């Protein structure tokens, strides 16, 4: 069945509101508009993309150069299956308004529940029973300020995270309690009812494992090696063969056997948790610590991710053995210098200009 793609990067915000209508900031509106045709790089030919004012000359040029093609800006999309960046009550309303096939309200609500950051605690608990090597402490869900203080007292340095947020937003690093911290945590609790608290780790490398869910089974797809701008906002991805990325992780201190054990165990764990409630790609953010320990579930993104886009782009367009950098930013910064494989090891210090 043909699909209609919607780039809705505000999906995590929509999940937090839990409504089918809410207001977007001008910055987010601009991101939605500027990135509307991003699905062109991973959709199938003759799928449809919700986008307007896309120059036909540009689309023709992309087809000539890369063989990609999609229909844009159609008003009637009946007969198409909805394929948003992420499912929420809001994206369901948008796509159903075009006549596309969408999940029922109950299923959307289940996806919202599964997208709550408490899923990380469930995943970590189950992984602890699946593997025989050390993992970080399981995150704790706190419903009041006293519980957050207790977690800080236990670990000395923690991250406090809103239940629905992404790309570094809704995350506070707390080393010491203060009135400012209490106000910020209190606001998070009032908005979303709880926060997740986790021990701060001495990180050397960010990465993710990518999976695909279909017919009630979650299977490992590949790696995402990403780098963050100062302040933890997403900055870009390395595009390379999975074996090359795995070697970078091993060079950063990760045990190769542990990586393989986690990719296998996570497939089973995510299958048990998700079942057939969600279909599509998902990413599990991870990190390697200075001691070589792998933090196997920093965050679960039950939606499309930039890492998945980079992975699919590499499989479609990158020559075997090549390495590239996928970045998100102004057009004048989009063309990056040629990269060598050895340069990947330095990407923890790469930031957007």
- Tell me the pLDDT tens digit for each residue of 212-244: 999 999 999 999 999 876 555 677 899 999 999
Going from the C-alpha of 61 to that of each of 2, 34, 55, the distances in angstroms are 23, 18, 10
Query: Can 137-199 and 202-349 be said to share one CATH topology?
Result: no
Per-residue DSSP letter, 138:
P
The radius of gyration of the chain's CA atoms, rounded to the nearest angstrom, is: 20
pLDDT at site 275: 94
For 62-83, write each residue's pLDDT tens digit: 999 999 998 887 778 888 999 9
Residues found in the chain: 353
Class of residue 317 by CB neighbours under 10 A (exposed 0-12, middle 13-18, buried 19+): middle
pLDDT at site 166: 67
Architecture label for domain 202-349: 2-Layer Sandwich (3.30)
CB atoms within 10 A of CB 336: 12
The number of helix segments (H) and strand segments (E) in the chain equals 11, 14
Q: Where are the domains of the chain?
A: 3-113, 137-199, 202-349
Class of the CATH-defined domain 137-199: alpha beta
In the sheet that holds 47-49, the strands lie side by side as 70-72, 47-49, 3-6, 81-84
What is the model's pTM? 0.90
Query: Which parts of the chain have pLDDT scores under 50?
Result: 331-353
pLDDT at site 27: 81
């Amino acid at each position: 069945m043909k699909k209609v793609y919607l780039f809705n990067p505000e999906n995590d915000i929509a999940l937090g509101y839990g409504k089918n209508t809410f207001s977007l900031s001008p910055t987010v509106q601009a991101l939605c508009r500027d990135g509307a045709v991003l699905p062109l790089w991973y959709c199938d030919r003759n799928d449809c993309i919700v986008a307007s004012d896309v120059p036909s000359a540009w689309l023709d040029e992309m087809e000539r150069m890369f063989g990609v093609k999609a229909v844009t800006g159609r008003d009637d999309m009946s007969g198409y299956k909805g394929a948003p960046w992420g499912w929420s009550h809001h994206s369901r309303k948008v796509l159903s308004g075009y006549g596309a096939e969408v999940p029922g309200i109950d299923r959307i609500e289940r996806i919202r529940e599964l997208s709550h950051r408490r899923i990380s605690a469930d995943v970590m608990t189950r992984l602890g029973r699946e593997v025989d090597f050390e993992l970080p402490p399981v995150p704790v869900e706190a419903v009041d300020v006293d519980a957050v203080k207790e977690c800080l007292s236990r670990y000395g340095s923690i991250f406090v995270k809103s239940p629905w947020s992404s790309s570094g937003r809704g995350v506070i690093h707390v080393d010491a309690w203060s009135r400012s911290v209490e106000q910020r945590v209190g606001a998070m609790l009032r908005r979303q009812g709880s926060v997740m608290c986790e021990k701060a780790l001495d990180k050397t490398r960010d990465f993710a494992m990518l999976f695909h869910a279909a017919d009630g089974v979650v299977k490992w797809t590949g790696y995402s090696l990403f780098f963050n701008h100062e302040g933890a906002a997403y900055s870009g991805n390395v595009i390379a063969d999975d074996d090359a990325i795995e070697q970078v992780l091993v060079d950063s201190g990760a045990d190769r056997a542990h990586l393989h054990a986690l990719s296998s165990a996570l497939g089973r764990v995510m299958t048990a948790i998700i079942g057939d409630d969600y279909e599509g790609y998902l990413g599990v953010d991870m990190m390697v610590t200075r001691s070589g320990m792998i933090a196997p579930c920093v965050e679960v993104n039950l939606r499309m991710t930039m890492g998945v886009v980079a992975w699919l782009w590499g499989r479609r367009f990158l020559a075997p053995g090549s390495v590239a950098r996928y970045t998100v930013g102004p057009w004048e910064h989009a063309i990056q210098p040629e990269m060598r494989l050895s340069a990947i090891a330095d990407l923890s210090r790469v930031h957007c200009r």
